[in-house]
Amino acid sequence: MISLSRSSASRTSEFSPPKMSADSMEIDDSLYSRQRYVLGDSAMQQMAQSSVFLSGMGGLGVEIAKNIVLAGVKVLTLHDTKQCETWDLGSNFFLRQDDVLTQRNRALAVHPRVAELNPYVHVDTSSSSLDLSTDLSFLKRYQCVILTETRLSLQKKINDFCHFHQPPIRFIGCDAYGICVRVFCDFGDQFEVSDPTGEEAKEMFIQNITQGNPGPGVVTCMDSRTHGLQTGQSVLFREVNGMDSLNGTARQVTVLSPYSFTIGDTSCLQPYAHGGFFLLVKTPRTYSFETMEQQLSEPQVLTPDFSKPEAPLQIHAAMLALDAFQEQHNRLPNIGCCQDAEVLVKLTEEVNLTLTTRAPVNSELVRCLSRTAQGSLPPLAAAVGGIASQEVLKALTGKFAPLQQWFYLDAIEVVKPLQSLSAEEFSPRGDRYDGLRVCIGETMCLELHKLRVFMVGCGAIGCEMLKNFALLGVGLAKSSGEVCVTDPDLIEKSNLNRQFLFRSQHIQKPKSTTAAVATLEINPEMQVDAHLNKVCPATEGVYNDLFYSRLHLVVTALDNVEARRYVDSRSVSNQKALLDSGTMGTKGHTEIIVPNLTESYNSHRDPPEEEIPFCTLKSFPAVIEHTIQWARDKFESAFAHKPTIYNMFWQTHSSAEAVLQRMQQRETLEGAFQVVKLLSRRPSQWEHCIILARLKFDKYFKRKALQLLHSFPLDTRLKDGSLFWQSPKRPPSPIEFDLKDSLQLEGTIDTLLTPDCVCVCVCVCVCVCTTERLRMSPRMFEKDDDLNGHMDFVAAASSLRARMYSIEVADRLKTKRIAGKIIPAIATATAAVAGLVRQLLTVLQVNYGIYPTIVLTVFQVNYGIEPTIVLTVFQVNYGIEPTIVLTVFQVNYGIEPTIVLTVFQVNYGVEPTMVVHGVKMLYVPVMPGHNKRLKLTMQKLIKPSVDRRYVDLTVSFAPESDGDEDLPGPPVRYYFSPDGDAHSA
């Protein structure tokens, strides 16, 4: 029987979750707000009532423990029978040197550090034996069981117990052996998923619905919007005029085009008139799982890399052979032992014959697995730990389609090129890097130690990156390496749900310096330099060319596109490799950018965000997003913009008397009208605030509606005879003020009171009266402080406007996400994406002559020409040796713009449309007078400062077709002197 240790007085006396309904669970939004947008309240509440058993506190186990504790389960039991060893320090970031010296049990050692991640989770430990003779009845108290570092025979026994228990206990088996990892999921015969995709249902407006005669009706989306539906899905109709009987009903769709679909027979319905919209109906789906025993010979596998479609089955056979090797020899293959490798190859061939679906045996993969099986790649463990943790959340909540049933991932590209190195390269040396050394060798380890890395951003991904750097030994002080990290932000409580290096005592402390201290606790040998700067044009004096010249690698851990673009441009200009990654909810991406090898981040652009037209916001809102944005704009105008204008006015004018005198002389003073208006309406006491707020309510929610209906009566028709008030336009209904309506009070009177004697309402911002001059204190919108009243105002104002236009009101949570432009986030996705930092190893291997897959460049995609053709001219004209378009083209001093243009026109057959330096247009053919500039030198056009060595120019080219944007070309670095020194005055 497994025994359980409770080492904290705050732990519960029993493991059984308390008897309570899901509705009675209160979610701490200040901590879980970003995760709530991913999972939803129902899933969060289910998770908060679930107990989980996790065995194995190696690198993979501790990754899973971290992620699910941050997510917020009720109880987690950490099980392990092993003692801490030096080897563990290279993969388990919660172990310390003292734990090794005292030979503590691994579960007991990590327990306090796991437990402090989330005060809402009860963490217990067990060090009892778990083997084939163990009574498994103790598992009945858990909803999910996760096994790591467990022999396959024991995994099968425990999986059978979980599968056939009623109700089934969700089972997840995880293994990490060197370059190969696997995850197996079994959630029972009938596992219902309430929301397979997790995508938010969006309202799509209808242009037309045909009336089948007989036959299916065709629905066409308004303004050629793509519906994003799939055949077999169902949609719900609302506010349809004419075919009224469709409203409130769900119809299954058959997709005809991206803009249209059929909904079955409509011949018996009334003809469609106008308006209406539809939403995707969330349809629950039931999944059936088989036991591990059943799945061994006929596996269901996921293909994560379509460039290697046979890899999952090949790894499946190889890892089953590795399990058989352990059963036969009671050990893993010896490091670098050729005899063991050949035995494993033979075993793999035998296993492969037993599989119903098989792929050719990959002998090279098997030999790499044999050599590295005792080792560990921390980033690979982080990636699969994030994936396995996400499956835990699916198992507990029934949210998102589960993994069926095997997931395999390998990093053979990292180690395959190193096979020719001597066996001594991979031999253990008795330090914390032995597990890594087994996989990549001593030489690569030393290269990692010497790395100088610049990481921009220290949020969720940044914390995970720093942890991975610490385990890999990146930037060691003794090797003159360094990790420089910069982030201007302070730690907020909402960060603690994902940014695992921070604790509650760190709130309002800088992210970068706090993370640096935490990183050094993981690996004291590192050198971490923490800054509080933004990386932008304003800080180019700090992050200058000399700074970049010392770097080996740039890493972005940012949450916005513009910052990424800037860092990418600086990396390209300075010829530094860049690793970029990001997440949104359960989705994520990672990108490796290598000079002379791949295209840059700026070479491709996402579609621009669709902006809401001004007239829609002002008079014709159609969906709740419009009313929320309107309320957000009103807040910005009243509480930030107007006070700022007011204060700026008095910074440039000495006194009210002087202003009055100049106005009497009929001088035009910018901002004077706004200032006079604010002064004339300023409240002197609370009653005045009430009056002003009441008047503002009538303006926004009554008179605005009356004015629109007067200008456009309900029966107004356009020139084509169609109604003016038809979808997506909604006619407003005036709202009468009612003191009994709490929503109206919240929407008209904000409770932001300052200690100085001031009043706040929707029409005047926080005004502080002083004896010398009336001044105003702007309020910047802060979404995460529930006590400041900001969200109260926006939510109430949005809801009132939605009521006025008969739009379904959004709850506070949705309003907060839209108004605050919050990006949904969850720790499991962050960990998985950051784990792909293993690409760092690929970047290093460029030194060994090994290159990752080359990405098509802008020139190849848009002009259909080979990069070698594009670059030949630069080799001839400038004597440089670029290998792909990403290269910065260096241009000698004193040339005229015509030289740059001619190179592209004559030799490439592409037409440059402009030459730009920053925001300054140096040459644009269509601009008046610009042809005269062709005879001027760059120095005369740019007029650089005396100490300026060079400038980076952007040359753009004509698009493929009309209407497309110009295409930016590779950077052109123009030097002002032959040797690159600062030019003389």
Q: Note if 615 is an active site residue.
A: yes
Packing angle, helices 363-372 and 338-354, rounded to 10: 130
Three-state helix/strand/coil letters over 413-442: HHHHHHCCCCHHHHCCCCCCCHHHHHHHHH
**Strand intervals (E) in 338-414:** 406-410
Among residues 615, 689, 757, 765, which one is catalytic?
A: 615
Sheet containing 254-257: give its strands across.
250-252, 234-238, 277-280, 204-209, 216-221, 260-265, 254-257
- Alpha-helix residue ranges (DSSP H) falling in 523-560: 545-549
Residue with tokens 């990481």: 455
Please state the separation of Cα 653 from the chain's center in Å.
Answer: 46
Helix (H) / strand (E) element for 817: namely helix 812-819
| Contact in structure between 412 and 368 (CB atoms under 8 Å) | yes
Residue with tokens 């080359």: 854
- Kindly write down the DSSP assignment for every residue of 599-654, as one continuous string: --GGGS-PPPPPPPPHHHHHT---SHHHHHHHHHHHHHIIIIIHHHHHHHHHHH--
Separation CA 38–CA 71 (nearest Å): 11
Helix (H) / strand (E) element for 285: namely strand 285-287
Separation CA 813–CA 822 (nearest Å): 11
| Contact in structure between 328 and 316 (CB atoms under 8 Å) | no
Separation CA 767–CA 857 (nearest Å): 56
Separation CA 392–CA 145 (nearest Å): 9
Nearest to 582 by CA among 723, 462, 446: 462
Separation CA 425–CA 436 (nearest Å): 11
Angle at Cα 195 formed by Cα 193 and Cα 198, nearest 5°?
Answer: 135
Q: Return the number of other C-beta atoms located less than 10 Å from residue 88's C-beta.
A: 25
Helix (H) / strand (E) element for 367: namely helix 363-372
What phi and psi, each to the nearest 5 degrees, are found at residue 510?
A: -60, 140
| Contact in structure between 139 and 51 (CB atoms under 8 Å) | no
Phi-psi map region of 693: left, alpha, beta (phi>0 left; psi -120 to 50 alpha):
alpha
Helix (H) / strand (E) element for 396: namely helix 378-397
Amino acid at 537: P
- Alpha-helix residue ranges (DSSP H) falling in 102-168: 106-115, 152-164
Residues noted as catalytic:
615
